[in-house]
Every structure is written in structure tokens, then in C-alpha cells.
Chain A
Amino acid sequence: MTEGEPLFRLDWVLQHLDMLWQRIGEHILVTVIAVAAGFVISFGLALAVRRYPFIYGPILAISGILYAIPSIALFVLFIPITGLSLLTAEIALVSYTLVILVRNMVTGLRGVPPEVIEAARGMGYTDRQRLWRVELPIAMPIIVAGLRIATVTTIGLVTIATLIGMGGLGYLIVNIGVQRRFPTATITGVVIVVLLSTAVDLGLQLLQRRLTPWARAHEA
């Protein structure tokens, strides 16, 4: 910190609102791509596990190893292949979401009581109807819980992607805050990341309530 520089300068924040919005936008974009891609891939894997249960073990083992690799390492490991690109960042981010999402989807689908599946069969549901009208709705709370964790985790990890030039809120923390010794930017970046995670978490919680109206009816 340069001599006499205060920890926080509100006037700087107010003067740079445009730049802050731009960084928030970048951050959200990278996060949304990662979570959306992770969700689609996980859903495919979960459906495959539903059909072929024996592949679950290997999937968990591989994704578990990916999960154990520190984000800073995973972000740069693919640079020799994919360069300093959005793709490099997304490979790392999507890998992390897979572990959380696949696990929750499979747990949710496996948690459907056998008698409910029997009943659906008895009513003449085809396999596909049973999946979409019975199993997925019942699994919904656990799937959305996984989505919440995956999204909040990704928002945190995207901060590190600034090291490979992805901007976002990490740019405020590192490139301005730390490298130019300007604590206001660091604090602003961290606060926005925390607010963003909290807001997204609450939003997805509301979504879950909307998606499972019967749970509310049950409470009442």
C-alpha cells in the first residue's frame, strides 16, 4: 500500500461504476457458461448411470481426482493445448461442477422410492414419461441443491481465472488491488463476489420453491 492510501475509498467505487459493471458482466458470463455446460454434461452422465449403474464408480473416481487438483494448477495445466483462452478456463470450471452435479443428480434419482416407480409403471408410464413426470420432479430439490453449490463454488473459482486473462472480479482483486497496491479495488472485488454468490444462492432457492409447488402445499 502506498503511503497514506486509505483502505477503502468510496469515491473511487462511485467513479468506476461502469468498469465494475463490466467486470461483473464478465464474471457472470464465465460462470454461466461453466454451470450450463456442466449441467448438460452431468445430466447426460446421470441418465447414463440410471441406465448402466456400473459406470457410476469410475465416473466418481475420475471426477474425484479432477476435484482434488488445485484450481490454480487446473487453470494453467491446459494452456499448452488450448492456450490462454476462455476454453482453458471453462475446462477447469466445468470439471469442478461435474463432481457436485453428477453426484446430486444420481443421488436424487436413486432416492425415488421403489413403490413410486412401481406405481408409475402400473399406470402405464413409459420409461421416458416416468423419468420426466415422476423421477425428475421428485429428485428436483436435490438436483437444485447441487446446482446451488456448483454455482456458488464456480463464482468463487472464476476470480482466479483472471490469472489467465479472463478478467472478471478477480481482475479487481489481483490486477488492480494487489499488483497496483490499491486495497479499495480488492475489497470491492471480494465484497461483490460475496454479494453475487449470496444473491445467486437465494435466487436458486426461490427457483426450487417455484419448481416444487407440492412441497409448499405439503407445508400448508
Chain B
Amino acid sequence: MDFLAQVLAWFTDPANWTGNNAIPLRLWQHLSLSVVSLAVGVAIALPIGLYIGHTGRGARFAVAVSNIGRAVPSLGWLGIAYPISTGLFQRAGIGFLPAFIGLVALAIPPIVTNTYAGLRAVDDELREAARGMGMHELQLLMRVEVPVALTVILAGIRVSAVAVVATAPLAALVGGGTLGAYILQGLALSDEVRVFAAAVMVALLAILTELAFAWLQRRAVSPGLAAAGDASWVEPPQLPAGPAIVPS
């Protein structure tokens, strides 16, 4: 109990609310880095997944991306991004940039694989019907395939979002701040209170992200599909053996 009281005292200490190591600043670094990385990750991965899923071309590429995504540890993405970033931009390549590059790389694989798997699972008869109604390819994609596959696509974005928020603390290693800065400071100073307080914030942030995206997923799926039980048109995605979700 004594320890928890110290943690509480840390949170209420005014010194932790001002200056260049303040909680709001660290939170802002964490959230802005996560949001920007996820947004860019989605902007890159979604079109690729949609193209591969719609045309069926490059399926091997999708599987390769998913395998690489699983094999390279989250720390590996940041570690590799660091020398690339500093090599290209010298001092400007420290801090936000390498963390951003690493997190974007981390965010891409789940979105590509889920988008691809979701579209592939759309019933061929549904495609035939849409073509028979005179839809052209883009209409077929946007009005039939994406709405039907939306649950699976959003699940991929959710996995990426949680992985990004959960890995963002490692940005502190490359000078990117975030809540991870407290963890590194605490470990260096043997300040268990600081480490613990930061870990709790990181865990809460990841769980909140998970819940927010779960809510979004439920909201965004067409009521027609939701009413039909477990989205009757969508077969479970046929991914290579392994979980869609890996702890990050």
C-alpha cells in the first residue's frame, strides 16, 4: 500500500505537470506519434490491401508482408529505422522521425493482410450479382466488397493501432519522448515509482485504444450484416497459420 501511495503522490506532484518532462507533454508526444504513424500506415497499407484483395494479384506479396510483420520484433522496426533516419537527416533524424518510420512499418502488415483476406472472403456470387447490376470495378469495390469485408478490415486497423500505441514507448530509446521516457528514466535512476506509474499509463492507453476501436468496429459495420448474425457473407479469413493478434 505504501508503494501505491507513492505512485499516487507521483501523479499529484506538481513538478510532474510542468516543464519538459511533464505528464501532459509526454502524453501528447505519445498520442501524436501514434496517431500520425497509424494514419500514414493506413494510407499506405489500405490501398495495397484493397488492390491485392480486389484483383487477386500479388497474393504472395500479401502473405510475405504478413510473415515479415510477424517475424520482426517491434523493437526491431525502431532499431532499424534509427540508423536510416540519422543517416539521411543527421541530427534531425533523432527523435520523432525514426520512431515514426518504425511505427509505420509496424502498422502496415496487419492492415494489408486483413484487408486482403477480408476482400478475398467476399462471396463470388455477390460479385457476380453486382457486375450483373452493371457496377463497374470501383463501384463493386466501394459499394459491395468493402462494406461486406469492413469488420475484417477494421480488425486489422485495430490490431495495428494497439500495436502502435503499445510500441510507442520504445520511441524514448531514439529520443522521441512519449510515456516510455519515464520508463527509461525510472530504470536508469532505479526509480520504481516512476517506472510503475508510466507502465500503468501505457497499459491503460493500449486498453483504451482496443476498446475504442472495438466500439468503432461495431458502429461502422452495416446493420444488414450485423443483423445476419456473424456477417453471413464473410467466411473467416484464410490467413497463414498464426494469430492475427500478437502482443506488442
Contact = CB atoms under 8 A, between A and B. Distances in A.
Interface of A: 1, 7, 65, 67-74, 76-77, 79-80, 96, 100, 145, 148-149, 152-153, 155-157, 159-160, 163-164, 170, 173-174, 177-179, 181, 183, 186-187, 189-190, 193-194, 197-198
Contacts of A189: 76, 79
A217 B144 CA distance: 44
Nearest to A170: B75
A80 B3 CA distance: 8
Nearest to A205: B241
A69 B198 CA distance: 13
A70 B82 CA distance: 22
B210 A80 contact: no
A122 B97 CA distance: 67
Given A71-B248, A72-B169, A186-B80, A174 B75 contact: yes
A2 to B, nearest CB: 9
- Among A65, A80, A153, A159, residue most surrounded by chain B Cβ atoms (within 10 Å): A80
Interface string B72-88: 11111011101100110
A70 B167 contact: yes
B247 interface: yes
B200 A73 contact: yes
A68 B199 contact: no
Nearest to B83: A183
Interface residues of B, number: 46
Given A153-B246, A164-B187, A73 B79 contact: no
- Among B75, B198, B203, B210, residue most surrounded by chain A Cβ atoms (within 10 Å): B75
A76 B167 contact: no
Nearest to B88: A1
Nearest to A158: B73
B207 interface: yes
Contacts of B51: none
B162 interface: yes
A42 B78 CA distance: 32
B206 A73 contact: yes
A190 B72 contact: yes
24 contacts: A68-B162, A68-B206, A68-B207, A73-B200, A76-B183, A76-B198, A76-B199, A79-B192, A79-B196, A100-B243, A148-B241, A149-B243, A152-B71, A153-B246, A159-B76, A160-B73, A163-B183, A170-B75, A178-B174, A186-B79, A187-B80, A189-B76, A190-B73, A194-B71
